[in-house]
Amino acid sequence: MGSHFEFYEIKERFFIDEQKLKQQYLKLSKENHPDFFITDKVRYDAAMDITSQNNTAYRVLKSFSSRVYYILKLNNLLEEQGNKLPPDFLMEMMDLNEEIMDLKMDFDVTKLVALDKKVGVLADQWGTKIKELALQADDLQNTERTGILKKIKEFYLKQKYVLRLKESLDTFAPQ
């Protein structure tokens, strides 16, 4: 099986026509609904396979964030040993983690709001940077594109880290 982009016969891009993707998904869903082939085992099995691929491909490609992950993965950029983040970023995250731990021990709604805002700004900052670089990557090929993809990976990993902090903050409920 090829990539999800190949399945829909679209170019591997971060920014795609999501409306056309949905139309293609619905068309394939309708054409290959297994209930239409209940009496033909071979065609039924084929329809089940196509339906499964269609559902998976659509789920992955329908949102920008899942496309980012998928494109990085397709380009072998998410191997564990290559996912190191800069020390200064990790120190900043350690400081934020300490602030979260302090909140757990001594809850203060004002501190929670301020910390939530700070983490939200970082998540938005990384998300904006990913989109800016993705626009560039969509217009490039080969080694130039690979260099941009590596930069996207760094911001993706940073955003992922910050979003985990955001999730941790979202668990706080005033006592």
Could you read off the pLDDT of 126-163 as tens digits, one per residue? 999 999 999 999 999 888 999 999 999 999 999 999 99
Structure-block tokens of residue 54: 């269609």
User: What is the pLDDT of the chain when averaged over all its residues?
Assistant: 93
Q: What is the mean pLDDT of residues 14-33?
A: 96
Is the model more confident about 79 or about 52? 52
Considering the domain architecture, whether residues 20 and 53 belong to the same structural domain is answered as yes
Q: Decide if 118 is inside a domain.
A: yes
* pLDDT above 70: percentage of residues in the chain: 96
Residue 45 pLDDT exceeds 80: yes
Where residue 46 falls (left for φ over 0; alpha for ψ -120 to 50; beta otherwise) is: alpha
Considering the domain architecture, whether residues 14 and 84 belong to the same structural domain is answered as no
pLDDT value at position 84? 86
Q: Decide if 101 is inside a domain.
A: yes
pLDDT band at 3 (very low <50, low <70, confident <90, very high): very high
Q: Which of 62, 91, 111 is the last residue of a domain?
A: 62
Q: Within 10 A of 54 (CB to CB), how many other CB atoms are there?
A: 21
Residue 17 pLDDT exceeds 80: yes
Domain holding 55, by residue range, is 4-62
> Alpha-carbon distance 20 to 8, whole Å?
10
Q: What is the mean pLDDT of residues 1-20?
A: 94
pLDDT value at position 1? 67
**Residues counted in the chain:** 175
Residue 172 pLDDT exceeds 70: yes
Dihedral sign from CA coordinates of 32, 35, 40, 45: positive
Total count of domains within the chain: 2
